[in-house]
Amino acid sequence: MMRNIYRYTALILFFESCILFSNAQSIDKENTNAQDSVFTNSIGMKFIFIQPGSMIVGKFQPTVYKTSQSSDSVYRVALEMAKHDAMPGFEVIIKQPYYIGQFEVTQGQWEKIMGTNPSFFKGDKVKDDAGQHPVENVSWNDARQFIKKLNEVEKAAYRLPSEFEWEYAARAGAKDDISWNDIRKTAVIATTTTSIIGKKQPKALGLYDMLGNVWEWVQDYYNEKIFADPVPPKKGKEHVLKGASFYGDVKNATYMTHAAGPASKYDVGFRVVMEIK
């Protein structure tokens, strides 16, 4: 079952809206340059080059606003609760460059490698080209099997992204959470089916659908918390999902928090990292 990633929904209701929370081939590293910013493999999967860098993960600083409807006592309680739950976050350093899928893996790409299509949203369940929709209804192990066969075909080093690699790419240098207005521009949310990849605006690095469309598997085990830990757990019951899905809304379409599988399956897919050798 999908984990609830926003405990503050109940608080907002309790305080009657008094509190608002603000919102192919292996590539030789020596030959990597600005002209390699986009790479396309033999089955048409496109990858964006990601430079090393750093980010702050797990920072949570809830903002409390006093409205005309909130009493002084309610406001003071809200301030104390916000102070208690605030977290400074921690620095994550991405030391190595990598390529990450510009889009989520599509049904058409899955069929080329696996010869089957496990997706729910295909045939008469979509009104356009299902092959261009993200593959879904796949488990973490299914994704790993696809990547194993992809590596055999491409003779390359593909894998699932780590949670930190995924978030670093999704943030594209942003220090704070994405605004609701930007979510609506870039994320396929609040709908009843998946969408053809790339229909919304890309993120700053040229990546599409990092939020919305389908939840995305990453390498790491889930830590049973809303935010990641500085050191990911070495074992666990489930693996991490990032990014929210097509039937989510602006409250859970964020790169800051994480959820866990297996979710509803038909709303879960993935994108792939290609290592630079």
Q: Which long-range contacts (CB under 8 A, 24 or more apart) does 82-87 make?
A: 82/19, 85/60, 86/60, 86/61, 86/62, 87/58, 87/59, 87/60, 87/61, 87/227
CB 258 within 8 A of CB 233: no
Supply the range of the domain harboring residue 247.
8-275
CATH classification at residue 63: 3.90.1580.10
Averaged pLDDT for residues 167-192 = 94
Tell me if 103 is assigned to some domain. yes
With pLDDT > 70 as the criterion, what percentage of the chain qualifies?
Answer: 83
Tell me if 80 is assigned to some domain. yes
Tell me if 264 is assigned to some domain. yes
pLDDT at 14 (0 to 100): 28
Name the residue with higher pLDDT: 123 or 85.
123
pLDDT at 7 (0 to 100): 35
Is the pLDDT reported for residue 5 higher than 60? no
Number of separate domains in the chain:
1
Residue keyed to tokens 């859970």: 252
Tell me if 3 is assigned to some domain. no
Tell me if 2 is assigned to some domain. no
Tell me if 154 is assigned to some domain. yes
pLDDT at 79 (0 to 100): 73
Tell me if 270 is assigned to some domain. yes
Tell me if 1 is assigned to some domain. no
pLDDT at 78 (0 to 100): 67
pLDDT digits (tens, 9 = 90+) for 210-256: 999 999 999 999 999 999 999 999 999 999 999 999 999 998 899 99
pLDDT at 26 (0 to 100): 37
